[in-house]
Chains A and B, each alone.
Chain A
Amino acid sequence: MHERLSFHIKRDSFIHNLNPLTKLVLTLTLILIAFTFPWYWTPHLLVLVAIIPLSLLGKVFREFSVTALRLILPAAGFLFLMQAFFQPVGSDVIFKFYFLDVTQESLMFAFRNAMRVFVMVSAFTLFLVTTHPSELMSDLTRRGLPGQFSYVIISTLQILPQIIAKSQTIIAAQRSRGLDTESSFFKRAGSLIPLVGPLVFGSLMEVEERAIAIEARGFTSKQTKTSLHEIPDPSFDQMLRWVLVALIILSIALNLWLS
């Protein structure tokens, strides 16, 4: 669990300086192509020719690799194992494991799916590492997203670590009071209510006052909102976005045409 729930790393790079929407479109492009382009090695190639070079261009290769190793590889790896063993496709059995047949087809299938998930998550990670949440939300708000969305996303990102910290405290407190998480099943089930109750009720009782506080500061104002930070959107970014959208359409069209 991340302490601040923000992956953003402040650097001055080509990628950091792109408009947040451009980066979002780029991320979606990578994901959609990985899932739709009708060629087996697409996701594998994308990692090599797009994701890794982009992380170098963004000067975040080291941090990106750490995240990839810690978060993404386990998830993709587990998916690979599950699918390799359990996917009942093909007849070319390589080896047997109890009642499970591992075939060449199931291995290939599992490898591609794991790579697709790897592309999806690593593209997303790259986006988060190079984009500050408040930049993204300011830009989207300027483009017409209701300001309340910005409030919800950012306050979730800020409140969550506090709530999780509180829940860790509660777990520790309950343990020290003898409601051991390692004890019998009945005790564990019974301890759920005293664990969750104070955490949940405490937060819910705050809602009214928080709502008053932001309404006092014009949260429901009908004025067009302005933004403290200016987020540049040069014509290069706008062009790049159209190119990326064209690539998405091409990939989906090929997929539909060939299937």
Chain B
Amino acid sequence: MAFVNLQNVTYKYPLTKAPVLQNVNLQVDEGEFVSIVGPNGAGKSTLCYALAGFVPHFFKGEISGSIEVDGKESSKSTLDEWVLNVGLAFQNPFNQISGAKYTVFEEIAFGLENIGVPREEMKSRVEDAMALTGIRDLADRSPYSLSGGQQQRVALTSILVMRPKLLVLDEPTSQMDPIGTREVFGTIRKMAEEGMTVVLVEHKMEWIAKFADRVIALKDGSVLLEGKPNEVLTSDLLVENGFGISRYTSTAREAKKQGIWKKESLPVTLDEAAEGFTK
């Protein structure tokens, strides 16, 4: 039995006509790092909300099918119980700052205060989480004084500190530079290796190819394709369906038509492209 198990999930927001998710079937194993890709409006964010319990508990609307995480059924749980197991961080860092705290340290402790973690344990957990994401030097700063990328790290840390079993991330590095992105992906990879299950929505194909175990391509609220990162991310189906693909993939695809790219498989990352072109 998979750790995350979605069976025929169809969902419609209130006051809308068309369903955003249609018959989604999705299984993720414990400790697996799965990435979700798709064009705008494919239902990626809604899928994140569904995994994190906000669909349907927060948004209401009509849902059918079943969502199970760690053997528990979402429809039989309440949101405040569900978030103890499933953590969610999303794109806009500014809206993820609680506003109720004056320093980054306090901000990260906010979630632990809410769920009643004792003071000493709270302090050491906050320290550990900050060390993990490399923001120890920000501890005494005001969360509002940080750059977008730093705020995204704080948002991620604020969720990691709660030690969810399933971590759901919706473009958590959109405001980071390449160095920051690499570090954060490294952290997420490490968390997965320590047993945390990760579902990540991301546009940065090179990083997905380097770090994720599996990729799921979502289109019009349904799963179009899933498999190993390099197979999915270089598939012709992606181009035909209007997905954004890595520039190395598109370059090599053109090169293959011209007969310059000799290998059977297409590259996603710079390294793969360099290797393929020099052979």
Contact = CB atoms under 8 A, between A and B. Distances in A.
The answer to whether any beta carbons of A and B sit under 8 Å apart in the complex is yes
A154 B79 contact: no
A216 B52 contact: yes
Given A226-B119, A228-B109, A154 B100 contact: yes
A215 B78 CA distance: 12
Given A151-B100, A217-B111, A224 B116 contact: yes
B83 to A, nearest CB: 5
A182 interface: no
A47 B114 CA distance: 42
Contacts, number: 104
A216 B122 contact: no
B11 to A, nearest CB: 16
Interface string B82-106: 0110011110100111111110011
Interface residues of A, number: 31
Q: Main SS of chain B's interface residues?
A: helix
A228 B113 contact: yes
Contacts of A214: 98, 100, 110
A168 interface: no
Contacts of A158: 99, 102, 144
B117 interface: yes
Interface in B29-66: 49, 52, 54, 58
Which of A214, A221, A228 has the largest count of B CB atoms less than 10 A from its CB? A228
A218 B99 contact: no
Interface of B: 49, 52, 54, 58, 79-80, 83-84, 87-90, 92, 95-102, 105-106, 109-119, 122-123, 144, 155, 158-159, 162
16 contacts: A151-B98, A154-B101, A158-B144, A209-B96, A213-B90, A213-B97, A213-B98, A216-B89, A220-B79, A220-B80, A221-B80, A221-B114, A221-B116, A227-B119, A228-B122, A230-B119
Interface of A: 134, 147, 150-151, 154-155, 158-159, 162, 206, 209-228, 230
